């Protein structure tokens, strides 16, 4: 549920207002990168993912039906913890299962099981046997895979793509500006092209790569906390 304005326990000084901005931000709740919709305190420059601003007290995930995850404002215990979805460190808000010890970032815990824009339909899997288009490895973290099984991208790889380019995207564009920023993620487009080059004509290869590129952009948007919007500016530039 979306509210135009909320009070939040992590920032009691001021109310947070809902806004949409295509430029990326760092969530002050889970400490992870976000894009698109957020709750923001314009006075303190305090941002929260929607999933962090309005969390569920408890949740059960389809991949872990025997687990009961509880929302926590900080990771439990004194040992480093990582998210079982994206394999990245947990440094802030988290969903934790006491019985099994699993942890999920709020955005990862609420990743859509299906992403569908009418042309591309992607399904979330705990593990897939096909290689990831970015790293070329099988297994690893959760993955989004197309129905035709031609496109597969690890959730972990999506986070790495953004983290590797974070300073360039965030600083070069100027905080808060809605601006297309030139970035580079070496080899991603070439990898998508190579996946089809050996078995299809040039025209079909180009079309396949366009569809694959669109699929990647939707996965990036979902992992960064806004699965309902395609952030064409910054997200698109991550594939250049």
Query: How would DSSP label each residue in the chain?
Result: ---SEE--TT-TTS-EEEEEEEEEEE-TTT--EEEEEEEEETTTTEEE-HHHHS--SEEEETTEEEEEEEEESS-SSSS--B-TTT-PBP-SSEEE-TTT--EE-HHHHT--SEEE-SS-EEEEES--SSPPTTT--SSSS-EEEETTS--EEEHHHHHHHHHHTHHHHHHHH-TT---------TTHHHHHHHHHHTTS-HHHHHHHHHHHHHHHHHHHHHHTT-TT---TTHHHHTT-
- Binning pLDDT at 50, 70 and 90, where does residue 28 land? very high
Least confident of 54-68, 130-144, 203-217: 203-217
Q: What is the distance between the alpha carbons of residues 103 and 153, in angstroms, rounded to a whole number? A: 21
Q: What is the pLDDT of residue 1?
A: 56
CA neighbor of 70 nearest in space, from 79, 81, 61, 57: 57
The answer to whether residues 39 and 55 touch, using CB atoms and an 8 Å cutoff, is: no
Per-domain residue ranges for the chain? Answer: 5-53, 58-109, 114-237
The answer to whether residues 130 and 106 touch, using CB atoms and an 8 Å cutoff, is: no
Q: What is the pLDDT of residue 158?
A: 82
Residue 63 corresponds to which tokens in the numbers above?
């991949």
Contacts of 168 by beta carbon, 8 Å cutoff, 6+ apart: 181, 183
Per-residue pLDDT, averaged over 1-21, amounts to 90
Q: How much is the mean pLDDT over the chain?
A: 78
Q: What is the pTM of this model?
A: 0.80
Q: What is the pLDDT of residue 56?
A: 94
Residue 232 corresponds to which tokens in the numbers above?
């064409």
Q: What is the pLDDT of residue 161?
A: 79
pLDDT digits (tens, 9 = 90+) for 84-139: 999 999 999 999 999 999 999 999 999 999 887 666 788 999 988 888 888 888 87
pLDDT digits (tens, 9 = 90+) for 139-192: 778 999 887 777 788 998 888 877 777 666 665 545 544 333 333 333 344 444
pLDDT digits (tens, 9 = 90+) for 194-206: 444 444 445 544 5
Q: What is the distance between the alpha carbons of residues 201 and 66, in angstroms, rounded to a whole number? A: 47
Q: What is the pLDDT of residue 169?
A: 60
- Binning pLDDT at 50, 70 and 90, where does residue 64 land? very high
CATH class of 58-109: alpha beta
Q: What is the pLDDT of residue 17?
A: 95
Whether 23 shows a pLDDT value over 90: the answer reads no
């Amino acid at each position: 549920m979306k509210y135009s304005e909320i009070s939040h326990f992590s920032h009691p000084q001021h109310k947070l207002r809902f806004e949409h901005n295509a430029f990326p931000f760092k969530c002050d709740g889970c400490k992870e990168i976000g894009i698109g919709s957020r709750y923001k305190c314009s006075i303190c420059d305090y941002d929260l993912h929607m999933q962090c601003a309005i969390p569920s007290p408890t949740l059960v995930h389809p991949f872990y039906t025997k687990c009961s995850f509880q929302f926590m404002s900080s990771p439990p215990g004194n040992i480093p913890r990582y998210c079982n979805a994206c394999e990245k460190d947990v440094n802030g808000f988290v969903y934790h299962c006491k019985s099994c010890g699993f942890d999920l970032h709020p955005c990862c815990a609420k990743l859509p099981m299906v992403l569908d824009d009418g042309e591309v339909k992607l399904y979330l899997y705990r593990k897939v046997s096909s290689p990831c288009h970015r790293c070329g490895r099988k297994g690893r973290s959760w993955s989004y895979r197309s129905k035709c099984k031609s496109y597969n991208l690890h959730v972990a790889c999506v986070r790495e793509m953004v983290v590797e380019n974070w300073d360039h995207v965030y600083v070069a564009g100027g905080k808060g500006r809605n601006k297309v920023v030139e970035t580079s993620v070496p080899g991603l487009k070439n990898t998508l092209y190579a996946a089809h080059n050996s078995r299809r004509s040039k025209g079909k290869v180009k079309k396949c790569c366009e569809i694959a590129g669109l699929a990647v952009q939707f996965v990036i948007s979902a992992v960064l906390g806004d699965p309902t919007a395609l952030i064409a500016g910054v997200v698109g530039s991550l594939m250049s």
